[in-house]
Structure 1
Amino acid sequence: MVTMVNVHEAKSSLSKLLERVEAGETIVIARAGRPVAELVPHRRVDLVFGLAKGEIRFDPETFDDPDDDVIAAFEGD
């Protein structure tokens, strides 16, 4: 379910709106009747390091030698 509220209502009842969002509702915040933002439930994404280990390869013959200008730009020289 999507509910639209104006900015003033959102500011004065943010805690209650967040409770509704936690329950799965989407809240659209509008300014002068025009939607400008959405409050949506946060979806956590767990990162798994090493998940693609052995799947990503590169051919060292394809890449050029290091570029001294690029290295200097990164190292501040």
Structure 2
Amino acid sequence: MTSIALENIGSDFADLARRVEGGETIVVTRAGKPILDLVPHRRKGGIDYAAGEAFLRAHGIERTAGFIADDFDDPLPEDFLIRPLPGP
């Protein structure tokens, strides 16, 4: 990891940008203390809910995000934990 003083960024910015594009992280300092990092841009990950809903609709599954079954709060049968799982 390379460090550079804030005062020196103006003259070196294009070179720093090329180095960051290459995957390097540059620490920018003020009075010898780190104040920010220049890091390569990364596309945000996460869940694409719209794509998930489109997939479900394409496969004939109708539901909406946040669906809770009507019997969600109903008590479970007494033998729920000891009953064998259904076969394949």
TM tier relative to shorter chain: 0.5 to 0.7
Query: Which entry has the higher C-alpha Rg, 1 or 2?
Result: 2
One-letter code of the match for 1:6?
A
Report the Cα offset of residue 38 of structure 1. Answer: 0.6
How well do the aligned residues superpose, as a CA RMSD in angstroms? 2.5
Equivalence for 1:24: 23
Cα–Cα, structure 1 residues 57 and 38, in superposed 2: closer, same or farther, change >3 Å?
same
CA distance in 1, matches of 2:13, 2:48: 34
Q: TM-score scaled by structure 1?
A: 0.62
Report the Cα offset of residue 45 of structure 1. Answer: 3.4
Q: Number of paired residues?
A: 59
Secondary structure of 1:45's counterpart equals coil
One-letter code of the match for 2:65?
I
Report the Cα offset of residue 48 of structure 1. Answer: 4.1
Gaps of 5+ in 1: 60-77
Gaps of 5+ in 2: 54-62, 69-88
User: Which has the larger strand fraction?
Assistant: 1
Percent same amino acid among aligned pairs? Answer: 38
Secondary structure of 2:7's counterpart equals helix
Cα–Cα, structure 1 residues 27 and 52, in superposed 2: closer, same or farther, change >3 Å?
same
* Deviation sequence 1:4-41 (CA, Å, 0-9, x none): 10012212110000000000000010000000011000
Runs of 4+ displaced beyond 3 Å: 45-49
